[in-house]
């Protein structure tokens, strides 16, 4: 096209030297104009194609933010361990999620695990999105803005959204186990060997929970008879969220159990267990009859903004 345009321009140049209106000069002039118009058209088409490609890429990126897909390596029809982790934006969020991920990565070598992370946010944040994209684990990313009031038990909205997702999986195995693994805990990978044994509801000790060195069930002749816990006899189940795992069958169907969104502080665990109809005798003591600690309640902290080195501002955490 460019060569044709040059030839046309050369013909026009000859015409300007010898100003004679002949059919050849008129044809050259017309050809030059047509080539110029064609060149403009091709340029506009290229611009349009580029704009469409950019638009498709933008829509694809947006769809990824809102679309939820089950990881291809996870098989819901097989018995699984579903780990539900509510999370919220804070300085130590990436640190805490990474700590949980390390334990799950080791445990996933032996067990069919799906990690469901639910952000307390109206949108999926970049930090968590990139963290999930770079993880080798089977992870589902959800988000739900907390709507709790005053002293309501936090993260119930997120936990319920995760439960709804899990129970909605096609062909999901009802013998699977649901565990509420918050990101403010540290986990031994062997904990998930214990959860794989759960028939109805399993329970283990939790270290550094409730201002105690360990909160633990008291086991006599293979049965839980009482608790050594902060709330002690004031509650039927004075347990931490990290202390128990429940068979998925209790969450299925129209009568499936859920967290009560407005449950008051420190009552979320007990109300969930009571809503399933569990009694003390139903608890399955694991971790060597509740004598072994495999989960710790921790509180990560970091320096305040004023203590951060200004020269490290170029370091990215995403």
The residues assigned a catalytic role are: 270
Starting at the edge strand that comes first in sequence, how are the strands of the sheet with 139-143 ordered?
A: 139-143, 113-119, 81-87, 177-180, 244-247, 201-203, 284-285
Task: Let me know the angle formed at the C-alpha of 112 by 198 and 125, rounded to the nearest 5 degrees.
Answer: 110
Q: Return d(Cα 224, Cα 219) in angstroms, integer.
A: 4
Q: Return d(Cα 179, Cα 244) in angstroms, integer.
A: 7
Under 8 Å between Cβ of 26 and 36: no
Question: Tokens 């069930």, residue?
Answer: 217
Q: Is the dihedral of CA 17, 22, 28, 34 positive or negative?
A: positive
Compute CA distances 5 → 215, 253, 297, whole Å: 86, 73, 76
In this structure, the number of other CB atoms found within 10 A of the CB of residue 9 comes to 14
């Amino acid at each position: 096209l460019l060569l044709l345009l040059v030839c046309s321009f050369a013909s026009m140049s000859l015409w300007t030297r010898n100003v004679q209106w002949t059919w050849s000069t008129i044809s050259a002039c017309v050809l030059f104009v047509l080539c110029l118009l064609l060149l403009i058209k091709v340029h506009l088409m290229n611009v349009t194609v580029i704009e469409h490609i950019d638009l498709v890429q933008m829509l694809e990126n947006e769809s990824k933010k809102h679309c939820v897909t089950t990881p291809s390596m996870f098989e819901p029809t097989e018995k699984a361990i579903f780990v539900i982790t509510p999370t919220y934006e804070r300085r130590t969020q990436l640190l805490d999620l990474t700590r949980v991920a390390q334990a799950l990565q080791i445990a996933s070598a032996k067990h069919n695990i799906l990690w469901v992370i639910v952000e307390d946010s109206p949108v999926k944040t970049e930090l968590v999105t990139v963290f999930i994209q770079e993880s080798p684990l089977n992870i589902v990313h959800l988000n739900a803005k907390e709507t709790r009031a005053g002293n309501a038990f936090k993260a119930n909205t997120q936990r319920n959204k995760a439960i709804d997702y899990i129970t909605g999986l096609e062909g999901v195995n009802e013998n699977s186990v649901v565990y509420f693994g918050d990101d403010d805990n540290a986990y031994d990978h062997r904990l998930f060997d214990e959860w794989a044994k759960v028939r109805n509801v399993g329970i283990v000790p939790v270290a550094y929970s409730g201002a105690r060195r360990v909160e633990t069930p008291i086991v006599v002749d293979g049965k839980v008879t009482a608790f050594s816990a902060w709330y002690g006899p004031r509650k039927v189940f004075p347990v931490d969220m990290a202390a128990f795992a429940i068979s998925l069958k209790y969450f299925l169907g129209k009568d499936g159990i859920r967290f009560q969104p407005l449950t008051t502080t420190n009552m979320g665990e007990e109300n969930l267990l009571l809503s399933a109809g569990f009694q003390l005798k139903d608890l399955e003591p694991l971790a060597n009859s509740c004598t072994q600690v495999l989960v710790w309640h921790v509180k990560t902290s970091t320096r305040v903004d004023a203590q951060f080195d200004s020269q490290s501002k170029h370091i990215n955490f995403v």
